[in-house]
Structure 1
Amino acid sequence: MAKGLEALLGATRDLQEEVYIPRLKTHFTIKALDEDAIERARAQATTGKDGSVDDALLNRLLIVKSAVDPDFNDKALKDHYEAFDAADCVKKALLPGEQARLIQAVLALSGFVGDAELIQDAKN
């Protein structure tokens, strides 16, 4: 059997990772997102007649969709931060750098890697 075929047949898309948030002294658990989840988030973040994407909103939506723990849709959490929805809760509960740390982890877990990493992987 070809290596690529064998790898695909044995692969799982149910990937999770813990991301440490130093200020909170705890780990958040995130999961990989598939193309459909990313496209739904992009559609939600598309604003105006020109079809432009609100990048900050898109990032918050990706965090919401990938977060296993904590659940930003939790009513008590939204009430605590006086957030009107889960994306607003992310904005109010997390510092910008914490959001960036989570987005980087979500994208990496979902298969988006930098060119340098791709070249290094190809060499191995």
Structure 2
Amino acid sequence: MATKGLDALLGATLDQQSQVYIPRLKTHFSVKALTSEELRKANDQATVPTGRGERKLDNNLFNAVLVVKGCVDPDFSNKTLIQHYEATDAADCVTKALLPGEIVKLFQTVLDLSGFGDDDELIEDAKN
């Protein structure tokens, strides 16, 4: 006998997408949910040496890498876009092409789609 949880998992997809409007650019960006593996790779990519033989997470780099991995359109790894902003890579392109608040807006939407949404909202939905 199947349970509600099992039925939900069997009918679910990890392919979650959303549109994020960027007023300054007067356009929508398409973003997607990230998998656990993509999050792990983003964490690895944003973990940098401290100079004392240790490593720590660079939060700004992590945010930019998540935007790169979560953005379907535009593609921040596009060579023309990287050249236009004189960026060294896709994450650098994010920080040079977008304002800090725009990065946060995209970052937050990617996290929400990836299951890191507002717990208060989830509790309220469960009550109804």
Q: State if a TM-score over 0.5 links the two structures.
A: yes
The secondary structure found in structure 2 opposite 1:61 is helix
The secondary structure found in structure 2 opposite 1:60 is helix
Aligned match of 1:8: 9
Aligned match of 2:91: 87
Question: 1:78: Cα distance to partner?
Answer: 0.6
The secondary structure found in structure 2 opposite 1:63 is helix
Aligned match of 1:123: 127
Question: 1:113: Cα distance to partner?
Answer: 1.4
Per-residue CA shift, 1:17-39, capped at 9, x if unaligned? Answer: 11000000000001100111001
- 5+ long unaligned stretches in structure 1: none
Counterpart mapping for 1:1-124 below 5 A: 1-48=2-49, 49-124=53-128
Please report the TM-score for the alignment, with normalisation by the length of structure 1: 0.96
The secondary structure found in structure 1 opposite 2:115 is coil
Q: Distance in 2 between matches of 1:116 and 1:59?
A: 23
Give the residue type in structure 2 aligned to 1:27.
H
**Root mean square deviation of aligned Cα:** 0.9
Give the residue type in structure 1 aligned to 2:44.
A
Question: 1:2: Cα distance to partner?
Answer: 1.0
Please report the TM-score for the alignment, with normalisation by the length of structure 2: 0.93
Q: Distance in 2 between matches of 1:115 and 1:12?
A: 21
Worse-matched range after superposition: 27-36 or 43-52: 43-52
Give the residue type in structure 1 aligned to 2:119.
D
Q: Distance in 2 between matches of 1:121 and 1:99?
A: 28
Q: Distance in 2 between matches of 1:113 and 1:98?
A: 18
Segments of 4+ in structure 1 off by > 2 A? none
Give the residue type in structure 2 aligned to 1:121.
D
- 5+ long unaligned stretches in structure 2: none
Q: Distance in 2 between matches of 1:117 and 1:47?
A: 35
